[in-house]
């Protein structure tokens, strides 16, 4: 059994969960300890005790530790990508990209440890100097989803540690194998006991501790909108004082294809954005908004290329689309496909669940393409989180923009055009945290700020040096000699 890591020790839990390979449900990945509430509290006690030790170590030692972690992730790229593909179901090429990114993120923040500038200001008062510096925020609760089981933990844990905070990490139960592998690497990087803790388990058992322990100062969360609201309520409603919180939630990302787009570029963006990683990305393009004169050519080219997206075991050579993560998510995807048909959209490709591929029982789903969708349909308003995309036909660029902005979400948005005028207009007017011109809505750089607007996100951006906004607190000092 794989244990939790609390105060520098590996501890068995209340019981264990069993992780299954979604590409072959006969394959058991492992048994992972589920922490009790008292163990989760122990983790916060340990993190609180370790805070002055870790933050007091100074930037060079913190940098060295993060560098060691990043180097090991990169050195074990093949093995970790195999585990990720086996556990989460993303095709091996996508899994390799994710492991690479996790390693790069630790390397980036190893550098950032040594780049923490402050500011000196002139004072309005004679003889006074004003100094602005950043300090750690404290103990950070890191709560992550299953869809990027290494990259999302990396982009939360690396900056938390870089800026001198300590961490209690609770991964999603579906992907504890990847979480445990990452924790095992961090455990050997020379951090003081308690600076990093792994608590696996069900949110019903330990969720409230992760949100409410009086020793935590901040909660960084990625997951569903519903849970995000619970995080926000718990963070502001705590009896011991409010906690800072950062939420990354859903998306319903549009890819706009204008009449003047390069058709090959647009189709490549749509196939990647909608279907790669089985569409299980909060930045996936699930709405393909296409202007009148481009529409038929675009749909014909999509139908031509869709058969290239071979569905199969995430680790088989030639597989482009791995399985859906589990039976529950597959049922949700299929229910949305039925919903789309019932609402009057036409399913022109895929959409069939396949109980097995090449003799392997798994949660497989043929990528689905709808045409004739309208913006008000539920399939165009709600996050499906699967390989399902809908084409919405619009008259012109102005209507495309209005439809693109017509959801409660605002994470990522794309436009395919060869016109500078339209590119500039969409870049300015799209209500999204990230705008992609002639590029897929999903797929971002590890050092650039990541986050959304409207119901997609709350709080400061993640990743890159913008992460300092969440993981540090500002101190303003007035000094008179």
Is 70 an interacting residue with respect to ligand ADP (CB under 6 A)?
A: no
Is 223 an interacting residue with respect to ligand ADP (CB under 6 A)?
A: yes
**Mapping DSSP to helix (H, G, I), strand (E, B) and coil, where does residue 53 land?**
helix
CA-based torsion, 25, 330, 327, 180: positive or negative = positive
Count residues binding ligand ADP (CB under 6 A). 15
Residue selected from 207, 340, 387, 410 as contacting ligand ADP according to rule CB under 6 A: 207
Q: Which helix (H) or strand (E) holds 73?
A: helix 59-75
* C-beta atoms surrounding 135 within 10 Å: 13
What is the closest distance, in whole angstroms, from the C-beta atom of residue 159 to ligand ADP in the complex? 19
**Options 27-35, 202-210, 289-297, 371-379: segment touching ligand ADP (CB under 6 A):** 202-210
Active-site position among 248, 383, 416, 462: 248
User: Smaller CB distance to ligand ADP: residue 211 or 309?
Assistant: 211
Q: Which two tokens stand for residue 146?
A: 């299953």
Please return the burial class of 342, using the count of CB atoms within 10 Å of its CB with bins 0-12, 13-18 and 19+: exposed
User: Smaller CB distance to ligand ADP: residue 143 or 416?
Assistant: 143
**Mapping DSSP to helix (H, G, I), strand (E, B) and coil, where does residue 296 land?**
helix
Is 218 an interacting residue with respect to ligand ADP (CB under 6 A)?
A: no
Active-site position among 282, 380, 383, 462: 282
Instruction: Check: CB of residue 371 under 8 Å from CB of residue 343.
Output: no
**Options 6-14, 38-46, 219-227, 347-355: segment touching ligand ADP (CB under 6 A):** 219-227
DSSP symbols for 410-463: ESEEEEE-S-HHHHHHHHHH--SSEEEESS-SS---TTS-B--EETTEESSPBS
Is 238 an interacting residue with respect to ligand ADP (CB under 6 A)?
A: no
* C-beta atoms surrounding 2 within 10 Å: 23
User: Smaller CB distance to ligand ADP: residue 227 or 375?
Assistant: 227
394 vs 65: CA distance, rounded Å:
52
Is-catalytic flag, 248?
A: yes
**Options 36-44, 119-127, 143-151, 373-381: segment touching ligand ADP (CB under 6 A):** 143-151
**Options 60-68, 75-83, 185-193, 222-230: segment touching ligand ADP (CB under 6 A):** 222-230
Catalytic residues: 248, 282
Chain contacts with ligand ADP (rule: CB under 6 A): 143-146, 170-172, 203, 207, 210-211, 223-224, 227, 230
């Amino acid at each position: 059994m794989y244990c939790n890591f609390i105060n520098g020790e590996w501890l068995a839990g209340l019981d264990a969960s069993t992780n299954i390979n979604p590409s072959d449900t006969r394959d058991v990945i492992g048994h992972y300890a589920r922490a009790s509430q008292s163990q989760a509290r122990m983790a916060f006690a340990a993190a609180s005790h370790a805070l002055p030790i870790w933050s007091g170590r100074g930037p060079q030692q913190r940098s060295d530790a993060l560098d060691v972690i990043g180097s090991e992730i990169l050195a074990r790229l093949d093995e970790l990508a195999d585990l990720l593909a086996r556990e989460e179901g993303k095709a091996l090429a996508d899994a390799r990209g994710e492991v690479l990114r996790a390693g790069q993120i630790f390397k980036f923040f190893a550098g950032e440890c040594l780049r923490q500038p402050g500011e000196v200001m002139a004072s309005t008062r004679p003889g006074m100097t004003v100094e602005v510096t950043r300090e750690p925020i404290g103990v950070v609760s890191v709560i992550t989803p299953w869809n990027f089981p290494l990259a999302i933990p990396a982009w939360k844990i690396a900056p938390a540690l870089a800026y001198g905070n300590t961490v209690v990490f609770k991964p999603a139960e579906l992907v504890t194998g990847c979480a445990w592998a990452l924790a095992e690497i961090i455990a050997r990087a020379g951090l003081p006991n308690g600076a990093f803790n792994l608590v696996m388990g069900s949110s019903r058992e330990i969720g409230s501790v992760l949100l409410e322990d009086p020793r935590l100062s901040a909660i960084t969360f990625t997951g569903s909108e519903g849970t995000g609201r619970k995080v926000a309520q718990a963070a502001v409603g705590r009896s011991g004082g409010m906690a800072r919180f950062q939420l990354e939630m859903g998306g319903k990302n549009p890819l706009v294809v204008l009449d003047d787009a390069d058709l090959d570029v647009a189709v490549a963006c749509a196939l990647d954005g909608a279907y790669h990683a089985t569409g299980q990305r909060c930045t996936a393009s699930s709405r393909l908004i296409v202007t009148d004169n481009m529409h038929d050519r675009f749909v014909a080219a999509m139908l031509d290329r869709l058969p290239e997206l071979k569905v199969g075991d995430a680790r088989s050579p030639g597989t482009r689309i791995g399985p859906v993560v589990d039976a529950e998510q597959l049922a949700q995807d299929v229910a949305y496909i039925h919903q789309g048909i019932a609402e009057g959209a036409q399913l022109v490709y895929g959409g069939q669940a396949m109980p097995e591929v090449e003799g392997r029982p798994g949660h497989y789903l043929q990528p689905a393409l709808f045409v004739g969708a309208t913006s008000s349909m539920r399939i165009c308003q709600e996050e499906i989180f699967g390989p399902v995309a809908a084409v919405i036909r619009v008259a012109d660029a102005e209507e495309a923009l209005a439809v693109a902005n017509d959801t409660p979400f605002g994470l990522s948005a794309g436009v395919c055009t060869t016109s500078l005028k339209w590119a500039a207009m969409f870049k300015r007017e799209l209500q999204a945290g990230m705008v992609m011109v002639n590029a897929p809505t999903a797929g971002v750089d590890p050092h650039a700020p990541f986050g959304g607007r409207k119901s997609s996100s709350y709080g400061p951006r993640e990743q890159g040096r913008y992460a300092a906004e969440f993981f540090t607190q500002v101190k303003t000092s007035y000094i008179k000699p």
